[in-house]
């Protein structure tokens, strides 16, 4: 089994294909974290923990005269509260007597087959080829009877441990949770660790920052009600010498789409603690006797093969264990064109058909009608919430419009933003109480829209019914689900004053219920997520959405950096990427080559394009299909780092059997009479030969030569030239 309990030594060993995670019930029934790293079988690693009197360190009362045992210096699996540990903690509970205290000690455990399931929250699932076992460890405070159930599901072959926590009020009076993390992990020495994160901003999402751990708390968070453009719920702890191909690193990805907190602290003894979970700002959740609270899941992995090894683990897992939609693995996704940058709000049914006809010649297979088709929506000041067709724009009616598109041999997609409402809308006039607005205070506007209180069941039901009525009215193939602002004015008219701290989490739970209902009843529709671009790009959203729009910024050179950062965690098939009119100095071929490092599509007015450009786009659409399996299901390698100044950027996709590879190179500024540039490949079989077309000739080279000697890149080319090299194994 992947989970082994040694009753004599009281150790729990969690084994994946190449790693071991170990903990132990130790002194006074506290659960200690012992080890996470390369496989060690079931050897007891508790010998590494040393105890001595550290001075001025608190000792649990029942440790009696034993001054060498302090929770301030012991590696814990889940922290206590007010028990002498002054580091960052994983729980803050206010008990019925007003005290803030939790002293969780081991009382029981159980092991069973299959992954755990969380109430109202998404989690990963097991495929028929997966071996998955789950461990539950129950910690209990003997005074308050509050329990924390630690949940671990081990996906053995996938090298993933999914972790969460469940709080159970076993007492006879209500308690308040004011902080609850999904995971806690303690490293005995983290002085040689770096922390990597993906900060950004609107239009520049998921950039990469790496910094050494120092003796203070490194806090990565979003308080925006969504996972945000500014941060991503993903961090990496890596040894300082770790690079793309070598060294140890640990990944932590939170499956949550709201505000989150991740903290890492290097303490006075160079021990490193990481906690991760729901955002604790303005969070307060009441639990009556017998009630439970589930935290979102964290997907943890360890790689001894550098950042690339970690990325490959996550990419494979995300492609196979998050989303059950047929569009993830079984159905090839069409090349689409979105109408937003082509028409904005200024379109009608005639214009849409005109764009579709022109786009068809570009190899486009689906047109997506973006914002402006519903209610009284001619700009962003009105109409949100009124999900009925605007008959002044779609005069023929939605079913007939879809039929016209179908006659062109194309599919039809449609845009929604169901979580928001305009003040100038029928919905707001009918139900102003459905809006989040603090009593006596005017609500914060953003993009001239307000936030619906989707934590309320009746609001959820309205959205489900409204969206389903549109989807059921015509042969719609694709939905783009958008949210164009952060969540503010946290207040619900449906909750009493002492439960307003539950609003942020109830919002996220409401969103998940809405998506479960709508997507679950429309398995033949492909859903793409969007949040003003990439503002809610997180693992939980990929449970519902086949892909997510990476950014509203479609400038190709910016997208190279965006794709690079995203690829640390997310696979190519999850990243929406389009060719647009942005950056006119960049050739269409290069824009398309960069967009193929994503799901590929177009964001422009096809009806205004030159015939030559249309032919170029068709050629690139054909390349997208030709290399679809390589891009979507192959192993992805980052060959250059766009955050380090250089003359060119490159990436590579290699088939799982290493029979085929695709290398993309984009030149930036090759200096006049400068040195020859080479791109060294990765992931090939060193002992096999590969055929590659280069400068009009077929070259046959060994994998060893290509990986160590590289491909010489032509020099006498304009800036922003792209090269796509296709390699096939010989024999």
DSSP, residue by residue, 612-632:
HHHHHHHHHHHHHHHTHHHHH
Closest-CA residue to 326 (of 477, 550, 540): 477
Angle, helices 349-360/398-407, rounded to nearest 10 degrees: 20
Angle, helices 588-595/611-626, rounded to nearest 10 degrees: 30
Asked if residues 692 and 712 have their Cβ atoms less than 8 Å apart, the reply is no
Q: For residue 400, what is the enclosing H or E element?
A: helix 398-407
- Phi-psi map region of 26: left, alpha, beta (phi>0 left; psi -120 to 50 alpha): beta
Mapping DSSP to helix (H, G, I), strand (E, B) and coil, where does residue 426 land?
A: helix
Closest-CA residue to 479 (of 379, 434, 412): 412
Cα(530)–Cα(671) distance, rounded to whole angstroms?
Answer: 39
pLDDT, residue 25, reads 97
pLDDT, residue 672, reads 79
Tokens of 16: 């994946």
Count of CA atoms in the C-beta half-sphere (13 A) of 260: 34
Count of CA atoms in the C-beta half-sphere (13 A) of 675: 5
Q: Can you list the residues of the chain whose pLDDT is less than 70?
A: 65
DSSP secondary structure string for all residues of 154-218? EETTTTEEEEEEEEEE-SSS-EEEEEEEEEEEEES--TTEEEEE---BTTB-S--EEEE--SSEE
Q: Could you state, in order of their start, the residue ranges of all structural domains in the chain?
A: 3-321, 326-636, 639-730
Tokens of 160: 């993933």
Asked if residues 444 and 428 have their Cβ atoms less than 8 Å apart, the reply is no
Asked if residues 471 and 479 have their Cβ atoms less than 8 Å apart, the reply is yes
CB atoms inside a 10 Å sphere around CB 197: 23
Mean pLDDT across the chain, nearest whole number? Answer: 96
Asked if residues 243 and 600 have their Cβ atoms less than 8 Å apart, the reply is no
Buried b (16+ CB within 10 A) or exposed e, 149-168: bbbbbbbbebbbbbbbbbbb
Buried b (16+ CB within 10 A) or exposed e, 477-495: bbbbbbbbbbbbbbbbeeb
DSSP secondary structure string for all residues of 688-721? SEEEEEETTEEEEEEHHHHHHT-EEEP-SS-TT-
DSSP state of 334: P
Domain 639-730 indexed as CATH 2.60.40.1180: yes
Q: What is the fold, at CATH topology level, of the domain defined by 3-321? A: Beta-galactosidase; Chain A, domain 5 (2.70.98)
Q: For residue 481, what is the enclosing H or E element?
A: strand 478-481
Q: Which CATH superfamily is domain 326-636 in?
A: Aldolase class I (3.20.20.70)
Which residues are part of the catalytic machinery? 482, 552
- Phi-psi map region of 683: left, alpha, beta (phi>0 left; psi -120 to 50 alpha): left
pLDDT, residue 708, reads 98
Cα(303)–Cα(126) distance, rounded to whole angstroms?
Answer: 21
DSSP state of 658: S
What pTM does this model have? 0.98
* Residues whose CB falls within 8 Å of the CB of residue 505, separated by 6 or more in sequence, listed in order: 258, 278, 283, 285
Tokens of 198: 């993906």
Same fold, 326-636 and 639-730: no
User: Positive or negative CA dihedral for 154, 550, 488, 209?
Assistant: positive
pLDDT, residue 100, reads 96
Cα(498)–Cα(605) distance, rounded to whole angstroms?
Answer: 52
User: Positive or negative CA dihedral for 401, 403, 408, 409?
Assistant: positive
């Amino acid at each position: 089994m992947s989970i082994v309990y040694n009753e004599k030594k009281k150790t729990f060993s969690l084994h994946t294909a190449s790693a071991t995670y170990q903990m132990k019930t130790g002194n006074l029934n506290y659960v200690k974290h012992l080890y996470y790293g390369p496989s060690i079988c079931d050897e007891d690693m508790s010998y590494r923990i040393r105890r001595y009197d550290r001075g001025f360190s608190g000792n649990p009362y029942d440790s009696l005269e034993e001054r060498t045992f302090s929770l301030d210096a012991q590696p814990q699996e889940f922290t206590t509260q007010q028990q002498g540990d002054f580091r960052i903690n994983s729980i803050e509970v206010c008990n019925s007597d007003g005290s803030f205290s939790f002293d969780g000690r081991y009382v029981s455990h159980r092991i069973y087959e299959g992954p755990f399931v969380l109430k109202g929250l998404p989690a990963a699932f097991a495929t028929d080829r997966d071996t998955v076992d789950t461990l539950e460890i129950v910690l209990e405070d003997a005074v308050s009877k509050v329990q924390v159930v630690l949940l671990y599901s081990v996906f053995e072959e996938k090298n993933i441990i999914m972790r969460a926590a469940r709080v159970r009020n076993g007492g006879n009076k209500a308690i308040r949770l004011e902080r609850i993390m999904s995971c806690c992990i303690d490293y005995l020495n983290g002085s040689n660790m770096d922390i990597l994160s993906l900060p950004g901003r609107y239009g520049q999402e998921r950039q990469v920052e790496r910094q050494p751990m120092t003796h203070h708390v490194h806090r990565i968070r979003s308080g925006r009600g969504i996972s945000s453009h500014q941060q991503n719920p993903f961090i990496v702890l890596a040894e300082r010498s770790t690079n793309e191909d070598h060294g140890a690193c640990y990944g932590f990805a939170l499956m949550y789409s709201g505000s989150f907190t991740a903290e890492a602290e290097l303490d006075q003894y160079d021990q490193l603690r990481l906690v991760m979970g729901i955002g604790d700002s303005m969070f307060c959740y009441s639990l009556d006797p017998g009630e439970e609270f589930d935290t979102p899941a964290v997907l943890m992995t360890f790689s001894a093969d550098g950042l690339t090894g970690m990325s490959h683990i996550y990419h494979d897992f995300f492609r196979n264990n998050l989303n059950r939609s047929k569009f993830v693995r079984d159905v090839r996704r069409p090349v689409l064109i979105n109408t937003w940058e082509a028409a904005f709000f200024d379109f009608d049914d005639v214009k849409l058909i005109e764009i579709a006809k022109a786009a068809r010649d570009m190899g486009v297979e689906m047109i997506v009608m973006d914002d402006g088709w519903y209610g009284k929506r001619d700009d962003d000041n009105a109409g949100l919430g009124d999900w009925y067709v605007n008959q002044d724009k779609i005069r023929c009616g939605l079913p007939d419009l879809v039929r016209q598109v179908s006659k062109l041999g194309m599919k039809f997609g449609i845009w929604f933003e169901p979580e928001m409402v305009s003040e100038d809308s029928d919905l707001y006039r009918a139900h102003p109480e459905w809006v989040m607005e603090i009593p006596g205070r005017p609500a914060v506007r953003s993009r001239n829209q307000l936030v619906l209180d989707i934590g309320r069941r009746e609001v959820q039901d309205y959205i489900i019914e409204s969206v389903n009525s549109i989807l059921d009215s015509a042969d719609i193939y694709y939905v783009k689900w958008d949210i164009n602002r952060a969540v503010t004015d946290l207040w619900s008219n449906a909750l009493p004053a002492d439960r307003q701290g539950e609003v942020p989490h109830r919002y996220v739970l409401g969103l998940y219920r809405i998506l479960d209902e709508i997507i679950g009843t429309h398995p033949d529709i492909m859903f793409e997520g969007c949040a003003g671009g990439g503002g809610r790009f997180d693992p939980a959203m990929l449970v519902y959405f086949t892909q997510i729009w990476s950014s509203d910024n479609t400038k190709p050179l910016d997208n190279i950096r965006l794709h690079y950062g995203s690829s640390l965690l997310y696979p190519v098939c999850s990243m929406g990427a389009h060719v647009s009119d942005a950056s006119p100095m960049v050739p269409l071929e290069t824009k398309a080559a960069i967009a193929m490092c994503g799901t590929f599509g177009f964001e422009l007015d096809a009806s205004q394009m030159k015939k030559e450009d249309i032919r170029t786009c068709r050629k690139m659409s054909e390349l997208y299909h030709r290399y679809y399996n390589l891009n979507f299901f192959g192993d992805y390698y980052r060959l250059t780092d766009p955050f380090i100044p250089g003359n060119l950027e490159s990436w590579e996709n290699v088939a799982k059997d290493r029979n085929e590879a695709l290398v993309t190179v984009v030149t930036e500024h090759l200096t006049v009479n400068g040195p020859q540039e080479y791109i060294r490949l990765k992931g090939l079989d060193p002992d096999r030969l590969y055929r590659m077309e280069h400068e009009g000739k077929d070259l046959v080279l060994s994998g060893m030569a290509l990986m160590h000697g590289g491909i010489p890149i032509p020099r006498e080319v304009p800036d922003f030239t792209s090269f796509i090299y296709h390699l096939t194994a010989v024999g």
